[in-house]
Amino acid sequence: MSSTRVEDIRVLALDDPQRTRSLRERLWTGRSSTGKFWIAVSPALLLYLVFTVYPMLQVVVASFTDARGFNRPWEFVGLENFARIFSGDPVLMEAVGNTAIYAFFKIVVQTVVAFLIAVLLHRQLMLGNIYRAIFFAPMVISPVAIVFVWSFMYDPTSGTFNTILESIGLGAFAQDWLGNYDLALYSVILVDLWSGLGFNIVIFLAGLSTIPSEILEAAKVDGARGWKSLRYITLPLMIPSIGLVLVLAINGALRAFDTVYLMTRGGPGNSTQLYMTQVFQEGMVNNNFGYASAMAVLVLVVLIAIAAAQNRLNNRIAAEEGNR
């Protein structure tokens, strides 16, 4: 169909309000298109229901049962699994504590560092793309690759950290970074701070680009430069982005899995066990599927609450972007 013809017919159709309205109704809300709607969404819905919704519902059901392994029938035990969680399962408590420490570092260190790097990167024209590529690259690499590199760097005998410490005369501080009970969690956290930093920089750069340059120029005229401009102009305007990064940090801490699973398996002891890895441990390794499901349901409730909070934040960001 040629474009001129489409235009002609459109004008004709729009000229007659009666016809246009009935066409609009038929096209967008009419009954005749409902059948086709179901045909078009059915492949997606079917796959999603079978492989995502149904397994998730099974998790919810299993959380009220004594499900173990793959084949034995389940029996309802009411709230027993939840009672066990809240009565203070010691390993789970350790995992919750570790997850809190993990979240603290994600929230504080990653937010501050990413914010400062984003401010430095913003409006860097000459080398900006190279810098950005470097900061974003760890995001795209497989967790398998990330974990192997860091395991190598943490190696107690030939690892990068200990070699560097020895070469600058601080050999006394050389550590078994992943084997030390008190240190392993922080070694794991460092890996995830490194790989997650770029994502926060992306969000902050997007937030910075919405600040109109007139505001900053007006502030400059009034004498606000450097730190002052950052503190009194940029920071307040970035609060929605900062809120989003904080929400994502908590979300990320509750979902954190790959690094611990591949690098330490929660050890030594349970010193690096996180909430999600403990769920996996109970469900897949210890075969306590019912109990693991109850843990999963709890974190799901928290994640949904966080998603709701995030949604409100996003609406605020959208509203503010719309106002500008």
Partner 1 sequence: MNGRTLSRMARRIPVNVLLVVLSILMIYPLVIIVITAFKPNLEVLTNPTGLPQNPTFDNFVTSWVEAGFANLFANSILLTLVSMTVATFVAALASYAIVRQATRIGSGVYLLLAAGIFLPMQLALVPQFRVVRDLGLINNYAGVILLYIAGALPFGVFLMAAFMRQVPKEIVEAATIDGAGYFQLFWRIFFPLGRPAIATFWVLQGVGVWNDYLVPQLLLTDPSKRTLTTGVLYFKAQYLADWGNIMAAVLIMSLPILLLFVFAQRYFVSGLYAGAVK
Residue closer to partner 1, measured from CB, 40 or 235 = 40
Residue closer to partner 1, measured from CB, 93 or 134 = 134
Residue closer to partner 1, measured from CB, 27 or 182 = 27
- Residue 301: CB minimum distance to partner 1, A: 12
User: What count of other Cβ atoms lies within 10 Å of the Cβ of residue 45?
Assistant: 12
Helix (H) or strand (E) run with residue 233 in it? none
Residue closer to partner 1, measured from CB, 126 or 221 = 126
Residue closer to partner 1, measured from CB, 241 or 271 = 241
Residue closer to partner 1, measured from CB, 130 or 235 = 130
Contact between 254 and 276 under an 8 Å Cβ cutoff? The reply is yes
Burial label, 219 (beta-carbon count in 10 A; 0-12, 13-18, 19+): middle
- Residue 56: CB minimum distance to partner 1, A: 5
Nearest to 115 by CA among 129, 101, 99, 135: 135
Residue closer to partner 1, measured from CB, 108 or 308 = 308
- Residue 228: CB minimum distance to partner 1, A: 16
- Residue 44: CB minimum distance to partner 1, A: 4
Burial label, 267 (beta-carbon count in 10 A; 0-12, 13-18, 19+): middle
- Residue 220: CB minimum distance to partner 1, A: 14
- Residue 181: CB minimum distance to partner 1, A: 22
- Residue 188: CB minimum distance to partner 1, A: 14
d(CA 11, CA 210): 38
Spatial CB neighbours of 78, under 8 Å, sequence gap ≥ 6: 64
Helix, strand, coil shares of the chain, percent, nearest 5, are: 75, 0, 25
Contact between 256 and 274 under an 8 Å Cβ cutoff? The reply is yes
Contact between 147 and 262 under an 8 Å Cβ cutoff? The reply is yes
Nearest to 138 by CA among 32, 225, 4, 259: 259
d(CA 25, CA 4): 25
- Residue 202: CB minimum distance to partner 1, A: 5
Residue closer to partner 1, measured from CB, 80 or 131 = 131
Centroid of chain to Cα 214: 33
CA triplet 160, 105, 280: central angle to 5 degrees?
Answer: 85
